[in-house]
Structure 1
Amino acid sequence: MNFIDTHSHLFSEEFTDDLPQVIERAKAAGISRIYMPNIDCSTIKPLLDTVSRFPGYCFPMLGLHPTSVNENFRDELSVMRKMLEEPNSFVAIGEVGMDLYWDKTFLQEQLEAFDTQIQWAAEYQLPLVIHSRDSFDEVLQVMKQNQDRVLKGIFHSFTGTLDEAEQLLQFDGFCLGINGVVTFKKSTLPEVLKRIPLERIVLETDSPYLTPAPNRGKRNESANLKDTLLKLAEIYQCTPDEVAEITTRNALKIFIS
């Protein structure tokens, strides 16, 4: 049984001491590929260094995370734009989007950065990995403004309502990224997902965050994706192999086809 972690920050400092072991555990668990979203200019080098250590297994994205958007965001975007113009190994634009959880100081800047990076995804024909926290309406607004562009990608870490899921899935080329949150005792996701086709779902960990049960409170890693997969098999009343096969096909359709 092989499946894909579509969102993991294995280049972060939390994995400095044991990354080779983390990768080995992921492979042993059945993880066949790991896609890694960037955060800002400071993380590009560790991201690419990690990819070079595990070629053909770890794949990099390029983007400016909304919580890293500040008064200097155009400078960061300029650096990334130049990297996209040169030969590179980036397989997606991500993670990008909106985050208004902490404050709305840079709301307008986040909107501009998000829109700019959507344009990159269309221009370079790369998938888009979208972060949204306390910003559903804003994300939806920007996406609708770009609905004439040819886009595909993932709405990362979906935890919303059925109505929100249905609105997001109106964008035909997109799937919902589901992670360890679905295993949390108070999560409402299981009931929502019963109404969402498995063909519109991809798996992710968001390592080192959002560790699924039964290991909540510990550092998350890609091997733990199996706990999320097993929960989805329970929700969809199918075998783990079926979840692995369908979600893998969904992920490859986004990142490769």
Structure 2
Amino acid sequence: MTLIDTHCHLADEKFHDDLDAVLQRAHKVGVDRVVVVGDQLASSRDALELAKSKPELYCIAGVHPHNASQWNDEAVAELRALCAEGKACGKLVAVGEIGLDFYYDLSPRDQQIEAFLAQVEIAREFKLPISFHVRNAYDLFIEVVREKHINEIPGVVHCFGGTAKQGAELVKMGFLLGVTGVLTFKKNDDICETVHAVPLDALILETDGPYLAPVPHRGKRNEPAFLHATAMRLAHELMLPLEEVAARTMANAKKLFRFQD
């Protein structure tokens, strides 16, 4: 059984001291590939350099909505350069995580929308899929996707946290939904309802490490090896064999990120 951690901040300083051990633990439980994520251009550069250094690592690049106030012409040029370099070496597999976060509002909402739409066009230019970040903004996100035909581009709404109805609408538009360790939490009604409301072929697994460690690892630094706990919980929820859940979510991830093997 093998799994792909489709979203992990492995370039974060919390992994600097023991990255090799982290990857060894991942391999032991069948996580044979990890997509490394940055949240701004500097960390996206770090993610790309890390991906280049390890055969099992890939990356995505983009500016998180929290950092949208940093978006400017220089950022456009830098992200385009990252996409060109990463795509050429085969290590950059998507643009992200980009989108709208109206929960924390760390950047003004108009700037979030501007940065989001600009990065969508960069993904379109480089023919790359997108990893979306959406929080407390699902209805507007769906409206913008429709208006701008963003669902012409393959993508995943990472760490999906909307309602089952919103999830079903996004899947109908053609997007995948990222399932994290939140599925294992006690307060998990929305994501539980969602995984029952959409087909398994619309789901992929992620840790979002170092955040959101699943039960029984809550309170610890999340890492790719813990993806196994989320896969087990999803299999339990859907009353399917773990091997089937692993195989089908892995196939979904491979299709999205265009992994050849």
Q: Superposed, which structure 2 residues align to 1:1-257 within 5 Å?
A: 1-55=1-55, 57-70=56-69, 72-86=71-85, 87-88=88-89, 89-103=91-105, 105-147=107-149, 150-172=152-174, 174-188=175-189, 189-256=191-258
CA gap 1:32/1:119 in 2 versus in 1, 3 angstroms = same
Any unmatched runs of 5+ in structure 2? none
Contact 1:122 1:149 in 2 (8 A): no
User: 2:7 is paired with a residue of what secondary structure?
Assistant: coil
Q: Which moved more, 1:102-111 or 1:12-21?
A: 102-111
CA gap 1:107/1:196 in 2 versus in 1, 3 angstroms = same
CA distance in 1, matches of 2:106, 2:45: 29
User: 1:11 is paired with a residue of what secondary structure?
Assistant: coil
CA distance in 2, matches of 1:3, 1:134: 29
Question: How far off its partner does 1:54 sit?
Answer: 0.9
In proportion to residue count, which structure has more helix?
Answer: 2
Question: How far off its partner does 1:122 sit?
Answer: 1.8
1:202-228 superposed Cα distances (whole Å, 9 cap, x missing partner): 000000000000111110000000000
CA distance in 1, matches of 2:58, 2:25: 18
CA distance in 1, matches of 2:11, 2:106: 28
Contact 2:11 2:37 in 1 (8 A): no
Contact 1:22 1:223 in 2 (8 A): yes
CA distance in 1, matches of 2:148, 2:71: 24
Contact 1:111 1:142 in 2 (8 A): no
CA distance in 1, matches of 2:208, 2:115: 22
CA distance in 1, matches of 2:40, 2:255: 26
Question: How far off its partner does 1:193 sit?
Answer: 1.4
Q: How well do the aligned residues superpose, as a CA RMSD in angstroms?
A: 1.7
1:120-165 superposed Cα distances (whole Å, 9 cap, x missing partner): 2222111100000111122212211222763101100012211111
Contact 2:171 2:198 in 1 (8 A): no
| Structure-1-length-normalised TM-score | 0.94
CA distance in 1, matches of 2:45, 2:122: 21
CA distance in 1, matches of 2:141, 2:188: 22
Identical positions, percent: 36
Question: How far off its partner does 1:90 sit?
Answer: 1.6
CA distance in 2, matches of 1:194, 1:102: 29
CA distance in 2, matches of 1:255, 1:130: 14
Contact 1:11 1:47 in 2 (8 A): yes
CA gap 1:166/1:184 in 2 versus in 1, 3 angstroms = same
Question: How far off its partner does 1:82 sit?
Answer: 2.9
| Structure-2-length-normalised TM-score | 0.92
1:62-93 superposed Cα distances (whole Å, 9 cap, x missing partner): 11111111155443233112333454532100
1:147-187 superposed Cα distances (whole Å, 9 cap, x missing partner): 27631011000122111111111222x21000000000111
Residue type at the aligned position of 1:17: D
Residue type at the aligned position of 2:4: I
Contact 2:8 2:208 in 1 (8 A): yes
CA distance in 1, matches of 2:77, 2:173: 28
